[in-house]
């Protein structure tokens, strides 16, 4: 191999996902172009590229949608760090998730070596070069199955919203990830982890969403289509660690760097504050752009026209080529470039993008104003309003807690003026955002779910004693199977849904087998069961089992899974008389479908049981067992004759 080829393989690579699969910043920015949204008057993506360049990364692969590719390329050419990077672009219009991006990368074969993977919304400084070298050494001399190092940051604020929503258990000596659960409140840890004195249980970590990956990561996503997010990947590997022969590690940033990921308005506000307070040095305003810094974290751009009576309060940025009238007061606010702010205007705790005009006597508090918008005289915009680009607000308008567009692109908006439409989120069943009045704290709705609550009494009773996560998994499987059978959904899609639920609730493989069979046997409502006799019940159940054959084959394919299947049948039969009357027929049918093996049925029958119900069920199966043994003897006899 030539020296050039060796050097090319040793070059550090990074993959930056520049398309976000959410609308957290809408209508100020959409998911495809949110990486270009300004943070302290610089595109988010520029911070990410600067971070990679300063870390010693050479090659960068930027993924984006085809529609945003040109604007992203134009912006990257202006980024300081990109001038010393070899940037390659890859685009797709079919990717709908992080997992799809990794599968796309696998098909493109762009990855040559261990690489850094991150979104195009990360701000800060990290020692990526030594971390990549440590990961490479680990794989070469320690754990060849290591596929990823997840970089966490220890939070100095235990009350922060992003802290406490996940529990991570690490091997104290190696940093290997042994357990991961992203849930608030109480959790259940495997007993073997608790008894092991060499583990660290961490609830003080924030995921930076910067990871170091081996070349095995894209193929793992390609082989597992139910991996849609990084969390899916982590849970999938931890649950199936032995099967996939892959391990995960963690590195905790504590004093050797800073990262902030901007994924919604609260994080946008938090990272903006960190930039203004200089936690991100050297990525601070006056280093990368021409600002002068004044007392109180006030940053003044070039070519400004400031009236003598204009007051700039603490934590304020005013962009270059902007104008400010007399009597105007601005505090805790970022004003973009080429803005015109009139007389006696008050702007507090807000973000004003480039090219905005705010006319006399208007007040803006706790809001976001998109590019090239205009706020006319005597307007009041408060309490977490978000205005998209090109919006025009007419004089004497009072807006609170609204999302405003310049046109009725959604057909779900109320017209306020020729270039201002108030989006009605209540009419959108997909809307998940709630907006807090103070501090731009836009938060996701939290849904409270009763443990396996159901309008159907018998379904609730079936799951009454199941732990919460298992209960939720069981309920989702029931819903998927009912919809699948009624709407003739392809079983491959049902398997993807079930696996997604399994990873979401951290259900191990054997528990999943057990609950899938239980769900398959409890698809009838109580009213439907009361209307059925034994013959009709079995006929319907048989047709459902036949329909779900691919699902059965996916989960029941070993002796252990056969044992799980038989246990589930017996468990449901205890409380369902109709199933109890045909339980032997069900077992026989599953045998004929090549789901249950002869050996597993014989082993189940021979198992000693203490309960009278279990003994009775096995007595019912005596004839089936005799038939299986006779068939086995005939097979052995035929084999002897042939020999």
Per-residue pLDDT tens over the stretch 163-182? 446 788 888 888 888 888 87
Q: Report pLDDT for 595.
A: 93
Q: How confident is the model at residue 636 (pLDDT cuts 50, 70, 90)?
A: low
From 517, 523, 619, select the one nearest 563 (Cα to Cα). Answer: 517
% pLDDT > 90, the chain: 36
Q: Could you check whether 290-444 and 457-641 share the same CATH topology?
A: no
Q: What is the pLDDT of residues 208-247, one digit of tens each?
A: 889 999 999 999 998 888 888 888 888 888 888 777 788 9
Q: Is the pLDDT of residue 69 over 60?
A: yes
How does residue 310 score in pLDDT terms, banded at 50, 70 and 90? very high
Model confidence band, residue 396 (pLDDT cutoffs 50, 70, 90): very high
Per-residue pLDDT at 26: 86
Structure tokens given for 137: 């050494």
User: In this structure, what token pair is assigned to residue 611?
Assistant: 């309960």
State which CATH number among 3.90.550.10, 3.10.129.10, 3.30.499.10, 3.40.50.300 fits the domain covering 11-163+204-261: 3.90.550.10
Dump pLDDT digits (tens) for 336-351: 999 999 999 999 999 9
Q: 468-487 and 509-520 helices cross at what angle (nearest 10)?
A: 50
- 520 compared with 256, residue with greater pLDDT: 520
Task: Give the Cα separation of 121 and 17 in Å (integer).
Answer: 9
List, in sequence order, every residue forming a beta bridge with 3; answer none if it has no partner: none
pLDDT confidence tier of residue 639, bands split at 50, 70 and 90: low
Question: What is the biggest distance separating any 2 CA atoms in the chain, rounded to whole angstroms?
Answer: 110
CATH number of the domain at 457-641, out of 3.10.129.10, 1.10.510.10, 3.40.190.10, 1.25.40.180? 1.25.40.180
Q: Which residue has the higher pLDDT, 283 or 195?
A: 283
For 107-151, give the DSSP string. HHT---S-EEEEETTEEEE--HHHHHHHHHHIIIII-TTEEEEEE
Q: Which residue has the higher pLDDT, 153 or 60?
A: 60
Judge contact between 617 and 573, C-beta under 8 A: yes
Report which of residues 250 and 467 the model is more confident about: 250
Exposed e or buried b per residue across 588-613, where buried means at least 16 C-beta atoms within 10 angstroms of its C-beta: bbbbeeebbbeebbeebbeeeeeeee
Answer for the pair 82, 155: CB distance below 8 angstroms, yes or no: no
Q: What pLDDT score does 551 carry?
A: 94
Other beta carbons less than 10 A from residue 376's beta carbon: 18
Residue ranges per domain, the chain?
Answer: 11-163+204-261, 290-444, 457-641
Nearest to 422 by CA among 381, 458, 372, 451: 381
Superfamily of segment(s) 290-444: Hexapeptide repeat proteins (2.160.10.10)
Can you give the pLDDT at residue 638? Answer: 53
What is the pLDDT averaged over residues 366-375?
A: 94
**Average pLDDT value over all residues in the chain:** 82
Show the tokens assigned to 304.
Answer: 């400004």
The residue-averaged pLDDT of 602-613 equals 84
- Residue with the bigger pLDDT between 195 and 401: it is 401
Structural contact between residues 418 and 394, judged by C-beta atoms closer than 8 angstroms: no
Would you call 250 exposed, middle or buried from its count of C-beta atoms within 10 A (0-12, 13-18, 19+)? buried
Q: What DSSP element (H or E) covers 313?
A: none
How far is the C-alpha of 506 from the C-alpha of 364, rounded, in Å? 45
Mean pLDDT of 474-480: 87
Q: Which two tokens stand for residue 49?
A: 């590229």
Angle made by CA atoms 176, 242, 597, in degrees to the nearest 5 = 155
> Which tokens hold the place of 569?
């049948």
User: What b/e readout covers 421-448, taking b as 16+ CB neighbours within 10 angstroms?
Assistant: bbbebeeeeeeebebeeeebbbeeeeee
DSSP string across 14-30: EEEE---SS-TTTTTS-
List pLDDT tens digits, range 445-476: 222 222 343 334 443 333 333 346 788 788 88
Whether pLDDT at 197 is above 90:
no
Stretch 412-428: mean pLDDT: 73
Token pair listed for 130: 């030594």
Average pLDDT over residues 105-122: 90
Residues recorded for the chain: 643
pLDDT of res. 505: 74
Higher-confidence residue of 406 and 372: namely 372
% of the chain with per-residue pLDDT over 70: 86
Distance (Å, whole) CA 588 – CA 596: 8
Q: Which residue has the higher pLDDT, 490 or 288?
A: 490
Alpha helices in 454-533 (DSSP H): 457-462, 468-487, 491-504, 509-520, 526-530
Running DSSP on this structure, what letter comes out for residue 93?
A: S
Instruction: Give the per-residue pLDDT at 453.
Output: 36
State in Å, rounded, how far the first CA of the chain is from the last one.
Answer: 57
Q: What's the predicted TM-score (pTM) here?
A: 0.66
* Mean pLDDT of the region 375-394: 92
Tell which wins on pLDDT, 501 or 72.
72
d(CA 110, CA 290) in angstroms, rounded, equals 37
Q: Which comes out higher in pLDDT, residue 379 or 1?
A: 379
What tokens does 496 get?
A: 């993807």
- The position carrying tokens 């609204």 is 402
Q: What is the pLDDT of residue 241?
A: 74
| Per-residue pLDDT, 351 | 96
pLDDT tens for 514-540 read 999 999 999 887 777 877 888 888 889
Confidence class of residue 633 from pLDDT cuts 50, 70 and 90?
A: low
Please tell me the predicted confidence (pLDDT) of residue 165: 67
pLDDT at 486 (0 to 100): 79
Mean pLDDT of 23-34: 84
Give the burial class of 487: count Cβ atoms within 10 A of its Cβ; 0-12 exposed, 13-18 middle, 19 or more buried.
exposed
Task: Work out the pLDDT band at 256, boundaries 50, 70, 90.
Answer: low
Residue 402 has pLDDT above 70, yes or no: yes
Question: What's the pLDDT score for residue 158?
Answer: 41
Q: Are the C-beta atoms of 72 and 305 separated by less than 8 Å? A: no
Per-range mean pLDDT, top range of 461-465, 593-597, 626-630: 593-597
**Residue 422 in this model has a pLDDT that exceeds 90:** no
pLDDT at 144 over 90: no
């Amino acid at each position: 191999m030539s020296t050039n080829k060796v050097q090319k393989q040793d070059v550090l690579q990074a993959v930056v996902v520049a398309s976000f699969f959410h609308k957290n910043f809408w209508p100020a920015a959409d998911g495809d172009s949110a990486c270009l949204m300004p943070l302290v008057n610089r595109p988010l993506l520029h911070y990410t590229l600067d971070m990679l360049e300063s870390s010693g990364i050479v090659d960068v692969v930027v993924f984006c949608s085809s529609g945003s590719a040109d604007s992203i390329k134009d912006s990257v050419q202006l980024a300081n760090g990109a001038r010393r990077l070899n940037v390659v672009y890859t685009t797709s219009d079919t990717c709908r998730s992080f997992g799809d991006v990794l599968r796309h990368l696998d098909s493109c074969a762009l990855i040559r070596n261990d690489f850094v993977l991150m979104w195009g919304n990360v701000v800060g400084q990290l020692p990526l070069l030594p971390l990549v070298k440590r990961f490479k050494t680990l794989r070469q001399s320690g754990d060849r199955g290591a596929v990823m190092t997840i970089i966490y940051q220890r939070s100095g604020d235990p009350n922060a919203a992003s802290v406490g929503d996940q529990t991570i258990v690490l091997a104290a000596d190696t940093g290997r990830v042994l357990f991961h659960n992203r849930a608030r409140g109480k959790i259940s840890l495997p007993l073997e982890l608790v008894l092991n004195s060499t583990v660290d249980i961490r609830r003080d970590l924030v995921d930076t969403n910067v990871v170091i990956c081996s070349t095995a990561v894209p193929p793992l996503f390609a082989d597992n289509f139910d991996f849609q997010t990084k969390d899916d990947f982590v849970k999938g590997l931890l649950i199936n660690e032995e099967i996939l022969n892959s391990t995960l590690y963690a590195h905790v940033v504590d004093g050797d760097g800073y990262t902030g990921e901007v994924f919604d308005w609260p994080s946008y506000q938090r990272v903006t504050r960190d930039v203004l307070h200089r936690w991100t040095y050297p990525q601070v305003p006056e280093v990368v752009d021409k600002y002068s810094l004044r007392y109180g974290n006030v940053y003044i751009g070039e070519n400004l026209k400031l009236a003598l009576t204009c007051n700039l309060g603490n934590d304020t940025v005013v962009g270059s080529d902007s104008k400010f009238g007399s009597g105007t007061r601005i505090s805790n606010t970022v004003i973009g470039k080429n803005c015109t702010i009139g007389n006696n205007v008050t702007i507090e705790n807000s973000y004003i993008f480039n090219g905005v005009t705010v006319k006399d006597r208007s007040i803006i508090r706790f809001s976001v104003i998109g590019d090239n918008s205009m706020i006319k005289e005597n307007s009041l915009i408060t309490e977490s309003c978000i205005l998209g680009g090109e919006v025009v607000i007419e004089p004497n308008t009072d807006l609170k807690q609204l999302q405003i567009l310049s046109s009725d692109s959604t057909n779900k908006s109320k017209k306020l003026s020729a270039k201002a439409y108030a989006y009605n989120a209540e009419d959108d069943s997909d809307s998940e955002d709630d907006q807090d009045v103070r501090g731009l704290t836009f938060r996701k709705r939290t849904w409270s779910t009763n443990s396996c609550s159901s309008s159907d009494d018998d379904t609730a009773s079936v799951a009454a004693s199941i732990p919460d996560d298992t209960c939720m998994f069981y309920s989702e499987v029931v819903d998927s199977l009912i919809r699948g059978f009624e709407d003739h959904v392809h079983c491959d899609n049902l398997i993807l849904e079930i696996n997604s639920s399994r990873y979401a609730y951290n259900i191990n493989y054997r528990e999943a087998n057990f609950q899938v069979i239980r769900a398959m046997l409890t698809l009838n409502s109580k009213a439907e069961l009361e209307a059925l006799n034994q013959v009709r019940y079995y006929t319907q159940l048989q047709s459902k089992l036949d329909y779900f054959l691919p699902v059965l084959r996916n989960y029941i394919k070993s002796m252990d899974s056969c044992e799980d299947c038989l246990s589930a049948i017996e468990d449901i039969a205890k409380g369902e008389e109709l199933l109890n009357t045909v339980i032997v027929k069900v077992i026989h049918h599953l045998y004929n479908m090549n789901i249950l093996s002869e050996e597993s049925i014989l082993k189940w029958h021979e198992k000693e049981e203490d309960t009278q119900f279990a003994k009775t069920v096995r007595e019912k199966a005596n004839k089936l067992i005799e038939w299986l043994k006779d068939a086995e003897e005939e097979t052995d006899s035929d084999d002897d004759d042939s020999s």
